[in-house]
């Protein structure tokens, strides 16, 4: 009787293996042969699941994106408004080794994908998911009277994405100036600027 192969599980195992290699060496330095060896497969066997480096990179980035979203859903629960907005930002920020590893993969994606329209579009689609979620939380915060008036929601989202993406780079390349405590303080300061003062 032929052996039944769980291709979804095998694909997940491969992603886990190549993830660790990308984190250690950076995506540009990794070859398909190295990726196959790290996962314990012949080069040709790996191609069944990931035909080229683009496919590997998409999967590695998607894993980071999905992991962030899973953590955020667990942290947010049934909360909304500025509380949920803050918790989502915290899960994006590289505040521990897990999130630092994700940041390294994301940085590798940026480096490799720049100038490749299909990968840029893939990334932009993921970011639009976060933009929509953030706008939803800001809308809830506005209804609840948590936001200071006069600042467009898209401007807030642009600012916080610039900050969180920048922190991914800074925490990897200048960690002594971007400790978890300083990152968190930066976010809290930003939230103070958009929140309605307690006396209002």
Place of tokens 């309605």: 196
What is the spatial distance between Cα 76 and Cα 47, in angstroms, rounded to a whole number?
Answer: 38
Higher pLDDT, 116 or 25: 116
Element (H, E) at 181: helix 180-194
SS (H, E, C) 76-145: HCCCCHHHHHHHHHHHHCCCCHHHHHHHHHHHHHHHHHCCCHHHHHHHHHHHHHHHHHHHHHHHHHHHCC
- Band of the pLDDT at 200, cuts 50, 70, 90? very low
| In contact, 88 and 76? CB cutoff 8 Å | yes
- Per DSSP, 8 falls in state H
SS (H, E, C) 10-27: HHHHHHHHHHHHHHHHCC
Higher pLDDT, 179 or 38: 179
Q: What is the pLDDT of residues 54-79, one digit of tens each?
A: 888 888 899 999 999 999 999 999 99
Taking 70 as the threshold, does the pLDDT of residue 198 lie above it? no
Taking 90 as the threshold, does the pLDDT of residue 37 lie above it? no
What is the pLDDT at residue 46?
A: 81
Query: pTM of the predicted model, to two decimals?
Result: 0.90
Higher pLDDT, 53 or 84: 84
- Band of the pLDDT at 28, cuts 50, 70, 90? confident
- Band of the pLDDT at 95, cuts 50, 70, 90? very high
């Amino acid at each position: 009787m032929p052996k039944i192969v769980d291709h979804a599980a095998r694909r997940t195992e491969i992603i886990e293996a190549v993830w660790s290699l990308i984190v250690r060496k950076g995506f540009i330095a990794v070859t398909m042969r190295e990726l196959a060896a790290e996962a314990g497969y012949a080069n040709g066997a790996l191609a069944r699941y990931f035909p080229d480096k683009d496919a590997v990179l998409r999967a590695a980035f998607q894993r980071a994106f999905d992991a962030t979203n899973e953590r955020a859903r667990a942290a947010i629960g049934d909360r909304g408004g500025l509380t949920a907005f803050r918790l989502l930002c915290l899960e994006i920020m590289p505040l521990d080794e897990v999130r630092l590893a994700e940041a390294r993969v994301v940085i590798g994606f940026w480096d490799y994908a720049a100038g490749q329209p299909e990968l840029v579009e893939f990334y932009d689609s993921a970011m639009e998911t976060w933009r929509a979620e953030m706008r939803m939380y800001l809308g809830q915060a506005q209804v609840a009277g948590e936001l200071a008036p006069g600042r467009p929601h898209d401007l807030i989202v642009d600012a916080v994405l610039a900050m969180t993406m920048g922190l991914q780079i800074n925490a990897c390349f200048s960690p002594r100036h971007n400790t978890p405590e300083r990152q968190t303080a930066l976010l809290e300061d930003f939230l103070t600027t958009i929140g309605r003062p307690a006396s209002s």
